[in-house]
């Protein structure tokens, strides 16, 4: 492969389950020191981008090079490779991956330009959008609504980060009160105040779980404190990757558990106009970047 060619090494929820993706992400993180690369690790995918010689990494990672690698990142940023086509979270994740890589290491200017172009493509694809199919948090809460009456009840949200906030927002729109549980109770209280709820630590959240109308989880790491007694549990939507709920608890739910990979089903209700416009933007931005690359050689 030419040293002037970009490449991507990737896995997603179509090919590797959440636990496997988490193992791969940890492995890749531990082996890229000194490499001028960008790692994009989300709830649905683990992708490593670079130029020239690829590091010796996981055999599970699928490789694309050249223009195909460029187009792939444009599609990811535009939300065309997401579980929910056109969702916004992935664009934040692409932007965050780029910012974190720049803070940690010196990047090849071609790689910088690639991510800058992809971020621009993601913004352009979403410009003027009049409808979306919702985000992961909205779908998780909608799933809970199908199994429990949330309006007038309390939804326990485990996690006070960006996705926890999205879950809380969706729960309030569904008419539920919210309780936020987090490893950092101060952060939980801060987020809970936004939605008129209460904040607790993860121990307190585990105690409140059986009394809730539904539980929605977005945690980094296992929720070890959540080991409820042998009593009925409300439905649980866990969009953590991998799952934060212990296997023994999941086994008790008898179909009332939704995991992140269960959401990795492309919706059929995506507005055709968005897909067509996003495809056009991806083609335009891919050509723009390839022309820029040709001018650099």
Query: How far is the C-alpha of 207 from the C-alpha of 215, rounded, in Å?
Result: 12
Query: Residue 175 and residue 73: Cα distance in Å, rounded?
Result: 37
Which of 218, 124, 207 has its CA nearest to residue 167? 218
Residue 35's nearest CA partner among 95, 119, 108, 114 is 108
Encoding tokens for residue 165?
């906030």
* Active-site residue (options: 40, 43, 69, 270): 43
| Strand partners for 155 | 178, 214
Can 43 be counted among the known catalytic residues?
yes
Distances in whole angstroms, Cα of residue 96 to Cα of each of 102, 103, 297: 10, 11, 29
The overall longest dimension of the chain from CA atoms, in Å, is: 66
How far is Cα 292 from Cα 297, in angstroms, rounded to an integer? Answer: 9
Write out the two tokens for 57: 């990494």
Catalytic residue annotation: 43
């Amino acid at each position: 492969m030419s040293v002037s060619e970009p490449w991507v090494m990737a896995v997603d929820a179509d090919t590797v389950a959440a636990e496997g993706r988490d193992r791969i992400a940890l492995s890749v993180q531990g082996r890229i020191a000194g490499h001028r690369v960008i790692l994009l690790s989300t709830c649905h995918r683990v992708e490593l981008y670079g130029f020239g010689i690829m590091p010796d990494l996981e055999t599970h990672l699928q490789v694309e090079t050249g223009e195909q690698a460029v187009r792939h990142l444009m599609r990811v940023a535009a939300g065309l490779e997401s579980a929910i086509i056109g969702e916004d979270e992935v664009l934040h994740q692409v932007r965050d991956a780029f910012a974190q890589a720049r803070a940690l290491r010196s990047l090849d200017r071609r790689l910088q330009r690639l991510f800058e172009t992809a971020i621009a493509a993601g913004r352009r694809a979403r410009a003027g959008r009049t409808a979306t199919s919702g985000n992961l948090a909205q779908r998780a809460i909608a799933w809970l609504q199908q199994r429990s009456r949330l309006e007038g009840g309390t939804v326990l949200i485990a996690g006070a980060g960006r996705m926890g906030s999205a879950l809380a927002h969706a729960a309030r729109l569904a008419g539920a009160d919210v309780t936020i549980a987090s490893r950092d109770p101060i952060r939980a209280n801060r987020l809970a105040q936004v939605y008129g709820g209460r904040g607790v630590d993860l121990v307190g959240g585990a105690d409140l779980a059986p009394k809730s109308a539904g539980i929605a989880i977005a945690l980094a790491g296992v929720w070890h404190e959540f080991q409820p007694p042998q009593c009925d549990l409300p439905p649980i939507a866990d969009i953590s990757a991998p799952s934060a709920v212990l296997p023994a608890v999941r086994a008790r739910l008898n179909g009332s558990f939704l995991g992140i990979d269960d959401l990795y089903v492309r919706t059929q209700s995506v507005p055709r106009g968005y897909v067509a416009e996003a495809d056009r933007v991806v083609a335009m931005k891919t050509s723009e970047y390839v022309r820029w690359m040709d001018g650099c050689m």
